[in-house]
Amino acid sequence: MMHRNAFAVVAVVLAAFLASGAGRAAEHQDPFDKAAAEMRAELGDGFIVERAGIFVVAGDLPRRNFDSAKKNTIESCAAALWKDFFKTKPEMPIRIYLFADKTSYEKWVKKLAGFDPHSPYGFYLPDRKAMMMNIATGGGTLVHEMTHALMDPDLPRPPTWLFEGMGSLFEQCELDRDGHILGRVNWRLPILKKSGFIPLRKLVEMPEDEFRARRNRPNYANARYLCFYLQQRGLLTKFYAKFREAHKAGKDPSGWDTLTQIIGQTPEAFEKQWHDWVKTLKWPE
């Protein structure tokens, strides 16, 4: 007959064995399944949670609206960005929270992130690999923040003008019949026309804290329409690929050297043509 203390020892050993097994199972759990389970647990009933490629998407939207956002915005735009620009995909899931309206957005951002949202549209938290969106305001900010999230592993610590210029470019976009993503004229044009142009080299070499300083909307507008002009001249994809290689080699931190190499003319001539072109644009188109 086994002594009572022996039973206790066996119980402790068995518990430790089961716990270690559970720990090993958790370690080997698929990160996407884990992210989805965590999102379901934190959000509770009323949210759809599904994987979409490298994303795990949650939303308190009607099924029809959720499916449209997942397929027509998230999956299609991500595919186009990889097709045209990015080569390195994130190894871990990116979480996207689609909140149906302002009330839901503000409530859940406060609960999940611990602060009141600083934007009425949405934002990306790079340390959490998470986007929180008020999808009632449209899908533009979603694509803007997706561009940031997908650029992160492909081009770590890019210059701010490029990071925000490309994000802002694709907040108003379309996909052509071949699956390429194209920025279109948007609401930042009147800001640029009212505030005026920042000298090209100053814009490209502007430090991040200055770029993002208070009353920084003209900086974003300048960066967006510089990227837009490069796109329209067929140079944006070429610039990005060439700059990525230079940046990975520890060269050209601002992108100025690469820009002057690919434009095929003097910076002064390029800058004048860029300004003249922007002046022909209209919003609404």
> What CATH number is associated with residue 131?
3.40.30.160
Question: Are 75 and 127 within one domain?
Answer: yes
CA–CA separation, 55 vs 95, rounded Å? 6
Neighbours of 146 (CB within 10 A): 25
Phi first, then psi: what are they for 163, rounded to 5°? -60, -50
- Supply 161's token pair: 């003008």
pLDDT, mean of residues 210-237: 94
Q: Is residue 9 part of a domain?
A: no
Q: How far is CA 13 from CA 19, 20, 23, in A?
A: 10, 10, 15
- Which of 131, 154, 177 is the endpoint of a domain? 154
Q: How far apart are CA 140 and CA 167, in angstroms?
A: 10
Residue 242: the pLDDT is: 98
Residue 22 belongs to some domain of the structure? no
Question: Can you tell me which residue has the tokens 């860029």?
Answer: 274
Whole-number pLDDT of residue 285: 83
Question: Does one domain contain both 174 and 149?
Answer: no
| Same domain, residue pair 165 and 285 | yes
C-alpha angle 170-175-179 in degrees, rounded to nearest 5: 120
Given a cut of 60, whether residue 23 has pLDDT beyond it is: no
3-state secondary structure (DSSP) of residue 282: coil
pLDDT of residue 229: 98
Averaged pLDDT for residues 52-59: 96
Do residue 175 and residue 250 come from a single domain?
yes
Q: Tell me: the pLDDT tens digits for 150-169?
A: 999 999 999 999 999 999 99
Note whether 114 and 176 are same-domain residues.
no
Q: Within this chain, do residues 80 and 174 fall inside the same structural domain, yes or no?
A: no
Question: Distance (Å, rounded) from C-alpha 144 to C-alpha 172?
Answer: 9
Residue 140, token pair as written in the block? 């533009």
Q: Residue 28: which pLDDT band, with cuts at 50, 70 and 90?
A: confident
Predicted confidence band at 15 (pLDDT cuts at 50, 70, 90)?
low
- Per cent of the chain over pLDDT 90 is 88
CA 238, distance to chain mean position in Å, is: 21
Cα 262 to Cα 245: distance, rounded to the nearest angstrom: 14
Name the pLDDT band for 34 (thresholds 50, 70, 90). Answer: very high
Q: Is the pLDDT score of 13 beyond 90?
A: no
Question: Would you say residue 47 lies in a domain?
Answer: yes
Whether residues 160 and 88 share a domain: the answer is no
Task: Give me the residues paired with residue 99 across strands.
Answer: 134
pLDDT band at 27 (very low <50, low <70, confident <90, very high): low
Domain-embedded: residue 8: no
**Exposure string over 208-247, b if 16+ CB within 10 A, otherwise e:** eeebeeeeeebbbbbbbbbbbbbbebebbeebbebbbeeb
Whether 144 and 262 share a structural domain = no
Average pLDDT over residues 233-245: 98
Considering the domain boundaries, does residue 46 fall inside one? yes
pTM above 0.85, yes or no: yes
Region of poorest pLDDT, from 30-34, 97-101, 189-193, 213-217: 213-217
**How many residues make up the chain in this entry?**
285
Bigger pLDDT: 9 or 223? 223
Is the per-residue pLDDT at 63 higher than 90? Answer: yes
Is residue 12, in this structure, part of any structural domain at all? no
pLDDT in tens, 64-102: 999 999 999 999 999 999 999 999 999 899 999 999 999
Considering its fold, how many domains does the chain have in total?
Answer: 2
Range(s) of the domain holding residue 210? 156-285
Shared domain for 77 and 63, answered yes or no, is yes
Top pLDDT among 212 and 11 is at 212
73 and 111 within one domain: yes
202 lies in the same domain as 281: yes
Q: Which pLDDT does position 14 carry in this prediction? A: 46
DSSP structure string for 4-38: HHHHHHHHHHHHHHHHHHHHHHHHTS-HHHHHHHH
Q: Which helix (H) or strand (E) holds 223?
A: helix 217-232
Residues 139 and 191 in one domain: no
Q: Residues 187-199: what's their mean pLDDT? A: 97
Q: Across the chain, what does the average pLDDT equal?
A: 92
Domain boundary residue among 107, 134, 154? 154
C-alpha Rg value of the chain to the nearest Å: 23
Whether residue 13 lies inside any domain: the answer is: no
Strand segments, DSSP code E, in the chain are 48-52, 55-59, 94-99, 122-125, 130-134, 173-175, 181-183
